[in-house]
Amino acid sequence: MPKGYLVAHIRVHDKEKFEEFKALSGPAIADFGGKVLVRNPAPEPQEGDLRGLTIVLEFPDMDTARRFYNSDAYTAARRVREQAAETDLLLVEGL
């Protein structure tokens, strides 16, 4: 079964609040069997206008990625992140 991935580009403007988001989101990621594949604050843009911290999370499948994103635990973390940063985020199924 193909894996599910969350890909995010995050532009942090409140570092303290973002640390709170990280503390909340980490356990939620683990609860859904998620694995951090990429966490890079200085990616090398080649095309387009995406900036900021790049995150790639891997989940066992796309359904699990969706359940994670819509979970109560991640919704609470997301509300904190929305106060700390602007984010471009998508879920994508792997090959």
pLDDT given for residue 91 in this prediction: 98
What is the tally of structural domains in the chain? 1
Q: Which two tokens stand for residue 7?
A: 């890909």
Can you tell me the distance from the alpha carbon of 12 to that of 66, in angstroms, rounded to the nearest whole number? Answer: 24
The pLDDT averaged over each successive group of 10 residues in the chain (95 residues) is 96 97 97 97 90 96 98 98 97 95
Coil, strand or helix: which one is 48?
A: coil
What domain range includes position 28?
Answer: 4-43+51-93
CB of 73 closer than 8 Å to CB of 89 = no
pLDDT given for residue 50 in this prediction: 87
Q: Does the pTM exceed 0.85?
A: yes
H helices of 1-95, in order, are 15-31, 62-70, 72-84
CB of 80 closer than 8 Å to CB of 13 = no
CATH classification at residue 87: 3.30.70.100
Residue whose tokens read 């066992």: 60
